[in-house]
Amino acid sequence: MKDEKPVLGFDKFLMMALLKDGPLSKEELWEKTILFLSLIWYQQLPGKGQPLTQNLFFKVASIRSKIEDGKASKATGSPEEEMKKLIEKDLVKLNDENKYELTPEGLKNAKIFREHMEKSASSAVGELTPSSTAKNTTFLDAFLAVLKLGSGIISGSVGLIADGTDATMDTVESIMVWLGIKYHREDLSTILVIIGLFVASISVLFDSVTHILGTLAGHSDPMTLPFLVIAVEGIAILAAVFLFYYQRFVGKVSNSLTLISQSVDSKNHIFIGTSVIIGAIFAIYGIYFVDAVIGLFVGAGIFRDAVGLLREAISAQRGEEEDYSQEYKLPLEECWEENKLMAFRNWILYALWAEDLKTQPEIITSLKRAFHPDNYIPVLSELNATCKEHYDFEGQFEILIHPLKEHELLIEEIEEYVITEKGGKHLKAFFDNFRYYDVHYSDKILLAMTQDTKK
């Protein structure tokens, strides 16, 4: 199709909906679209009172979509606009009941889209297994080792060479973890990671003390090419952030202490890289001891984490049942849970705006129908990222409606609710936020991560 968006465009989404539940009316297609958009947890509008990290995460995700897909030919229109295009291509037609249904050619294409999505979803979910996580960690660690060592040799930076050597050791460690998981010897892999953390903590503390003493004695060497150091460590920090979330999520879901230990190691690399960058910035102005002072705190923190993980490992060796889901939480877990509430609230606004529902019983009935576990939503259903449990809309209705009233997105008149002008603008901003959104492979992994956060 000309100008068709890669992987999964909005037109394909609509055709998959028609394949599963068609024929569908314009209103029913709108409903599936709203449900889909509301459950894309990382693409929501930042709300008032949200933590800074979540706020920044949402903004970065939105910017990413505009950069990747921000072309006029790829901008997403309304379901009616997309249906017109599909009718022109003889993939969809209007039947006698004024509902949209697939033509024979559209049916053939829709089946291909669904098969592709099912395979892609299976592949994305497969990336969230312990073995795949260990394998991907190994490759990324190897890349960072080559990057740091190469940059260190080119620049002559002793710090980068040392960091590259540490990254090389991480790569060897990751290979051993990968093999340990593959051959069911995670206990040995966990001990290896913990030993690595102890070595890293002692190394960081030793280097920091040595650097501080050298500075006090007037023997410290100035950092060469600090801007290269900043650039390389910046890339390393981004990689460490990715690995931290990735390893922590899979480790938590699979209850794998080995992967959780690796996530702690990745978290520490974020702090180490940050201290190196801060030191490089101060080095530009002739101050050479700041990173060493920060390193003392970082080294102490790594040692503390290593001791905690060692205790967990000893308990596991004794055969004690361990549940790591509470102690080692993922920062975005609360974000995922909050997004479900945001999805419910977006639906309430949409129901008031489009379906002319006004009373509490009407709204609750609409919510139950929309978020029923059996309601098919293309892409999300294949990824098992829809609502899987029945929510207590009656008991929690005030919790859902209160923020909407507080932010003046709707008002309550006697026993009826009415969307305000501000609420209408909020809905428009919500739609516009997805104007250039498209589902890439990375999106499928992010969406698949919401399928089971309570294990």
pLDDT, tens digit, 9 for 90 and up, residues 57-87: 556 565 655 555 544 445 566 788 888 888 9
Element (H, E) at 148: helix 130-155
Task: Write out the two tokens for 420.
Answer: 């305000």
pLDDT value of residue 383: 85
202-236 burial by CB neighbour count: b if 16+ within 10 A, else e? ebbbebbeebbeebeeeebeebebbebbbebbeeb
- Backbone angles phi and psi of 287, in degrees to 5: -110, 115
pLDDT confidence tier of residue 329, bands split at 50, 70 and 90: low
- The rounded mean pLDDT for the chain is 79
Q: Tokens representing 266? A: 């990745």
Q: Does residue 101 carry a pLDDT above 90?
A: yes
Q: What is the mean pLDDT of residues 23-30?
A: 91
Is the Cβ–Cβ distance between 19 and 111 less than 8 Å? yes
User: What pLDDT sits at residue 111?
Assistant: 93
CA angle 40, 41, 47 (to 5 degrees): 120
- How confident is the model over 345-354, as a mean pLDDT? 88
- Residue 139 is predicted with a pLDDT of 92
Written as six digits, the tokens of 290 are: 């700041």
229-279: per-residue pLDDT in tens?
888 888 888 888 888 888 888 888 887 878 888 888 888 788 878 877 887
Lowest-confidence segment of 131-145, 177-191, 406-420, 431-445 by average pLDDT: 431-445
Residue of 361, 260, 246, 241 whose CA lies nearest to 306: 260
How many Cβ atoms from other residues are within 10 Å of residue 15's Cβ? 28
Top pLDDT among 90 and 72 is at 90
Closest by CA to 434, choosing from 44, 162, 157, 99, is: 44
Instruction: Give the per-residue pLDDT at 41.
Output: 67
453 confidence band (pLDDT: 50, 70, 90): very low
Q: Tell me the two tokens of residue 63.
A: 């910017």
What is the pLDDT at residue 99? 93
**What pLDDT score does 4 carry?**
43
Question: Mean of the pLDDT values across residues 360-382?
Answer: 90
State the distance between the two ends of the chain, measured CA to CA, in whole angstroms: 42
Residues 141-170 have pLDDT tens digits of 899 888 888 887 776 555 666 667 777 778
Decide if 222 contacts 155 (C-beta within 8 A).
no
**Beta-ladder partners of 24:** 100
- Phi and psi, residue 4, nearest 5°: -75, 140
pLDDT at residue 226 is higher than 50: yes
Of 160 and 356, more confident = 356
pLDDT the model gives residue 389? 76
Task: Supply the pLDDT for residue 61.
Answer: 60
Specify the higher pLDDT residue, 123 or 450. Answer: 123
Q: What is the reported pLDDT for 93?
A: 92
Using the CB atoms, write b or e for 176-199: b if 16+ within 10 Å. Answer: bbbebbeeeebeebbbbbbebbbe
Q: Is the torsion defined by CA of 154, 157, 161, 166 positive or negative?
A: negative
Per-residue confidence (pLDDT) for residue 298, from 0 to 100: 73
**C-beta of residue 189 within 8 angstroms of C-beta of residue 263:** no
The mean-pLDDT minimum among 89-98, 157-166, 321-330 falls in: 321-330
Closest C-alpha among 322, 36, 378, 354 to residue 187: 322
Distance CA(200)–CA(213), nearest Å, equals: 20
- Grade residue 24 by pLDDT with cuts at 50, 70 and 90: very high
Q: Give pTM, 2 decimals.
A: 0.70
Higher pLDDT, 225 or 143: 143
Residue by residue, DSSP assigns 388-438 as -S---TTTTHHHHHHHHHHTTSEEEETTEEEE-HHHHHHHHHHHHTTTT--
pLDDT of residue 187: 75
β-partners of residue 418 are 411
